[in-house]
Amino acid sequence: MINYQTLPGLAEHLEQNGYRVIKRDGVFVGYDSNGNSSELIDSAINSLIDGYDPIEFAKAEKRDAIKVEGLSRISAVFPAINDLDELKLEQERWLSIAPAARQPTSDYQKAINIYVAARNAITSINSETDWTVVNAYDVVTGPSWPV
């Protein structure tokens, strides 16, 4: 019998290790990559499930969601920006300009502020140790997005 749990990334983790689990008639059934099923296979799958920590998978999903949200906000100001990470280069270019010469437009400053909010949110997610907190993080209201 397989003690399957619904955890972020668990199905992918099992597949990476050569197994898959299907619910059949209310019972979870495990298979290896050759389609075989046995108590030995169930035991191997249960060991993988018991040792699985979804934190890294949850973090990766949330980082991607933050980038998508940030990019949608930046695109409203600068439609030519296709990747949130492009703004890192823009931020570095901006910092290379002498402070006295920096006079950003409000749109330019807003784009940089969105990038900073996204980077801060990602840093916060990366430091989290509880996958349920990461999973519950709302990418729309969680970061300090500029208005």
Please provide the average confidence, as pLDDT, over all residues in the chain.
91
Sign of CA dihedral 138, 140, 145, 147: negative
Q: Can you give the pLDDT at residue 6?
A: 87
Percent of the chain with pLDDT over 90: 66
Identify the residue whose tokens are 């140790």: 129
Contact 48, 13 (CB under 8 A): yes
pLDDT, tens digit, 9 for 90 and up, residues 39-97: 999 999 999 999 999 999 999 999 999 999 999 998 888 887 888 777 777 778 878 88
Q: What one-character DSSP code corresponds to residue 32?
A: E
d(CA 14, CA 68): 27
Q: Can you give the pLDDT at residue 146?
A: 92
DSSP-based three-state secondary structure for 40 = helix
d(CA 23, CA 47): 18
| pTM for this prediction | 0.77
HSE of 113 in the Cβ direction (CA atoms, 13 Å)? 12
Task: Indicate if the pLDDT at residue 38 is higher than 80.
Answer: yes
d(CA 57, CA 10): 9
- Report the alpha-carbon angle 13-46-128, nearest 5: 50
Average pLDDT on 138-145 reads 95
